[in-house]
Every structure is written in C-alpha cells, then in structure tokens.
Amino acid sequence: MTTAEIGKLTTTNIQEKANLIWAIANHLVGLFKPHEYGKVILPMTVLKRFDDALSKTKQEVLELNKKLDEQKTIDAIKDGLLCKTSGYDFYNVSPFTFSTLLADPDNIAANFDTYLKGFSDNVKDIISNFQFDHVLETMHKGNVLYVVIQEFNSKKADMHPDKITSMDMGYIFEELVRKFSESYDEQAGAHFTARDIIYLMAELLIAEERDYIKENGVVKTAYDMAMGTSQMLGCLDEKMQEINSDSKLSLFGQEFNPETYAIAKADMLIKGGNAQNMKFGDTLSDDKFSNYEFDYIISNPPFGIDWKVEEKQVKQEHSKLGFEGRFGPGLPAISDGQLLFLLNGVKKLKEGSGRMAIIQNGSSLFTGDAGSGPSEIRRYLIESDLLEAIIQLPTDLFYNTGISTYIWIISKNKNKDRLGKVQLIDASNCYVKRRRNIGKKRVDLDDNSINLIAKSYLEFKDAKYEENDLVVESKIFDNNFFGYTKVTVESPITDENDKPILKKGKPQADSKKRDTEIIPLKDDIDQFFKENVLPYNKDAWMDRKKDKVGYEIPFTRLFYKFVPPKASSDIFKEIKQLEEEEAVLMKELFGDE
C-alpha cells in the first residue's frame, strides 16, 4: 500500500472510526472538561479492543482457569497456558465481557471493577498507567458509566481484529490521541508525528540497503526513545514488511507520558509483539535500555522543552561517566533538551551498523558559542564522522507546530563515498497542500515528495531536483567546513600618542580592546590574521592559548537565494493603483459627498 493510499484510507475509514468513537464523549459533557475527555475515551477504547480480541476464546479461557485453580497450578505456568488459550499475550478471567456488563445496570460499577481485575498483569499495568481509578469513580457518581459502556457496545465501536487490523487500530489510537492533545492545547514541542513524516524517516533509514533487504530480508532491532503511542516503530516495521515479508524487526521503546505509554503497550500486545520491550519512564533520567545497542533508531523527541526535572541525574552521569555514559560530549542549555535525546541515541547505535533518523528543530544547528555544550555536541558528531545528512522539512507539516524542523541522519556505517562529508538537503519546498488542515498541519509529504527527497539523498551530489511543483536541493560539504576556531586578538595599552606602552620590553594587553576572530578550520590561521587583522591593527597579536574550536551548521544561509527588491517605479505603480481602488471604494460608501 502506497503512502497516498494509506493517506486516503486515513481520511476516510480510520478518521471516520476515530470520530465516531470520540463522539461518545458527548455523554461526558458537564461531568468532565473537554480536555479530560481523552482520559475516558482512550482507556475505554483500549479495553474494548482487548475485549473484542478475546471474545472468541473467552469461554475456553474461563474453563481452563477454573481447572488450573482447582489443580493449584503455579502462577507462571498458569499465565502461559491462559495466554496460549486466549491466542494473545494477555487474557481476562472475569465472568464479564463488555456485552454482559449491560445485563446488570444496578451493579455496573462493582461488576466493571471485577472485569478489570480479571485481566492479566500486563493489561493491569496498562490500566494503571491510564490512572483510571479516579476517572471511573467520577463516571459512576455521574451516572455515565453504564451509558458509556453501552456506547462502546454499539456497532460503531466494534474493534475486533477481524474487522480492524492492528495497523489500522494503531492509526485510530493516533487519531484519538491527537484529538485529546488538541483539546488539551498542548505546547508546540509536545507534538505528534504524522505518518507521512515517519514514512520519509523510515525510507531514509533503509534506503541504501533496500535492495539487500528485498533479496535477503533482515533480522534487526529498532528503538524509539520518545515513542508516544509507538507509531514510528510500527511504521518502520511496516516498511520492512513491505520490502520483504520475511523480515523481522524487534521493537523497543520508552515513553514518559503514562497514557501514550499505555496505548503503545496495548498496541504491541494486540500485534503479538513483545510488550515487555515497551518501557515506562523518563529516558533522560531513568534510562530503561542502558547498555543496549540497536540497528535502527527512529524518534521525534520533544524540543523547546527544558530538562530541569532531569538536571541532577543528567549532570551526574555527564561528570561521573563522561564518554562511557550518554552525555560525554557536552550538555545543552537547560531550556532545551533535544540534543540530550540525540546523544542518548548515538550511544545506543550498534557499532559498525547502527543508523538513526531523529527530528530536531533549528536550534540544534547553530545555538551555542565555541566551547559551549551544543557546539561540542556538534563537534563530536562531525569529527567522529557520525553525521551523515540533515534534511530540512517543509513548515506546517506537524499537527501542533508550524516551525522549521529537520531530520538528522546519524550513521555508524557510512558508505565510503560519504566518509568525511555531510549532506544537507533542502526539502522545504517539497510538499503538497492539504485540502483540509488538521490543526497546524497544512501540507503533506505524498509519495512523489518522499521519492524525490530519497532520490536526492541516495544520489549524494550537489544538485537541484525538480518534479512538477516539487523542489529539492542537495549540497555536499567536507566535515571541516562546519568548524571554526575562535581566536582571541589582543591589542596593546597605548600612550597619548597611540604608541604601545612596553613593560620589560613587551607590550601589555588592553582588556578593553580585546576582540575575537572566527576563522574557518579550512583556513590557515596565521595567514588569515596576516591578511584580515594586521592591515587594520598593526600592533595586534593572537593569544593562541585562548583558542576555542566551535561547530555550527548555517543551514539557512547555505541555501539562501537572493531576491532583488522591487524597482521603485513598480512600487510607485502599486501605490497609485491602491489609491485609485481606495477612491472607488470611498465613492461607493459615501457617494459624491
């Protein structure tokens, strides 16, 4: 299925289904605030999905559970046998289903509690992370629990795996979470990644080995350090299956938002994957995958979000472990932790083969002076030859933010042509406009857009690619192009005749006249000083002990296109035309008065 076909399906069946489910929230008006609707709809959707999936084997599971209880079977063996009978890695041993709960309206709360306690421990963990207890209590006291369960038993909420595939269910979860996010008015940094962006990231991750995968398949691992509902991992897995159905990708992820973590774990249970690989916790301060290495990393961590909560643990790891830990190269400003996530990913890439596609905003390219944390992080990536490519995306591509964003491709297996080089790709003009905006998402990456960007990446050359209205430009740079030395230039203390005052035969530096020069690494420092400083300050000298090396990636400047201003005669004509139009309008409004 192509991206366009999936997009079409999303805007019809999937979005329709999500809208119908979300409409159940009409029964919550007054009892819950709009931004709280998701706290009811999301867990109930997960539970109904489980209930529908288990329906065919429910009776067999109940009979086996009774038998195992009578035999006093130990829990570990019992758990395995019940999962095998249910057909999933979870089960429910209560006498109730969503349907039978409706038979006893007077005891709906107690029976629903029994129903929830009948689930296997992995589902109970999901329910716990939804923090559902207080919500249920409010629903019961407000007399809406019964009617909500009734609505989830309607045809519109039928989520049996025979009718809704795991892939489509993942999309429905994503759409529901997006609606919840919009109603909660989340800040721009805590956004969701649309599938078209993920498909591009997945394509860039595997582009160079596509032919090998098609021929041989792969058995690899993939990790998302800020997985949300795990849709990035799911889309990467889909890509692998699309290329070769024999490919096997083991998925791992960590998420700090309990509700989206719960959905990710639920989604993995339904798909039959290893839900134990979905971990809850703060990636920066409570790394659940310490000492793990992965073949692929795909992630869109939060940006523009401070890391004050994690500051103590992060700084301890930085100072105690250095490069043995995740944050050895340096620490960014406390106001934005996105580069910490990038370093976490670099540490977890498998040596000799690992590849990462990670989204960053523009600040990661240039913030921080020479010697600062961000500059040192860029220096580490480039001097270690880990940075393969950066792709600028179109604006207005995300649901909740319209700012410029970039995909960084980090690689521990650069091919020989890319060694010592970085590819920058400007894809800001490669998109199609949406007929209908979704939040701040006004544009999409269709198949043609993705293919053109992937082509520019694969061909790895200085070139401009144009196809209909789509434009992509690629530029290749040596690694040292992005580096510079910040040199301190001293000037002497002078007398009233502007002559240097000597002390023991040497001029003394005047701190008030101290200056700095930014000299590209590719330039000879002494020659630069001779040509660019001494002609204007013949007594100056460099204090090379204070040299600092910095790195920045001036992406916008490198792709800047000069647009000459309008001629004054043209501007005058436009003003004249506007004045004439204004006169006509005034006449229509007030007549000849």
Residue 137: inside a domain, yes or no? yes
Helix (H, G, I), strand (E, B) or coil at 422: strand
- Predicted local distance difference test score (pLDDT) of residue 1: 44
Residues 223 and 372 in one domain: yes
Residues 160 and 231 in one domain: no
Where a domain ends, among 368, 392, 420? 420
- Predicted local distance difference test score (pLDDT) of residue 59: 96
Residue 444: inside a domain, yes or no? no
- Predicted local distance difference test score (pLDDT) of residue 488: 97
Residues 175 and 194 in one domain: no
The pLDDT tens digits of the residues spanning 28-76 come to 999 998 888 989 999 999 999 999 999 999 999 999 999 999 999 999 9
The pLDDT tens digits of the residues spanning 148-181 come to 999 999 988 889 988 888 778 877 887 787 777 6
Q: What is the CATH number of the domain that holds 247?
A: 3.40.50.150
Which residues of the chain fall below pLDDT 50?
1-12, 187-191
Contacts (Cβ under 8 Å, ≥6 apart) of 377: 329, 330, 332, 339, 342, 343
Residue 143: inside a domain, yes or no? yes
Residues 53 and 155 in one domain: yes
Contacts (Cβ under 8 Å, ≥6 apart) of 479: 382, 383, 385, 387, 420, 421, 422
Residues 53 and 171 in one domain: yes
Residue 448: inside a domain, yes or no? no
Where a domain ends, among 399, 420, 441? 420
DSSP state letter for 154 = S
Residues 128 and 100 in one domain: yes
The pLDDT tens digits of the residues spanning 421-464 come to 999 999 999 999 998 887 788 999 999 999 999 999 999 999 99
- Predicted local distance difference test score (pLDDT) of residue 184: 58
Neighbours of 303 (CB within 10 A): 23
Residues 204 and 120 in one domain: no
Residues 351 and 244 in one domain: yes
94 close to 117: Cβ distance less than 8 angstroms: yes
Residues 115 and 242 in one domain: no
Residue 79: inside a domain, yes or no? yes
Domain extent for 249:
189-420
Residues 174 and 215 in one domain: no
Helix (DSSP H) and strand (DSSP E) numbers for the chain: 22, 17
Residues 270 and 220 in one domain: yes
- Predicted local distance difference test score (pLDDT) of residue 193: 82
Residue 471: inside a domain, yes or no? no
Residues 28 and 163 in one domain: yes
**Tokens 């053109």, residue located:** 452
Where a domain ends, among 539, 555, 571? 555
Residue 392: inside a domain, yes or no? yes
**Dist CA 282 CA 112 (whole Å):** 32
586, exposed or middle or buried, with CB in 10 Å at 0-12, 13-18, 19+?
Answer: exposed
Q: What's the structural domain count of the chain?
A: 3
Residue 464: inside a domain, yes or no? no
- Predicted local distance difference test score (pLDDT) of residue 236: 95
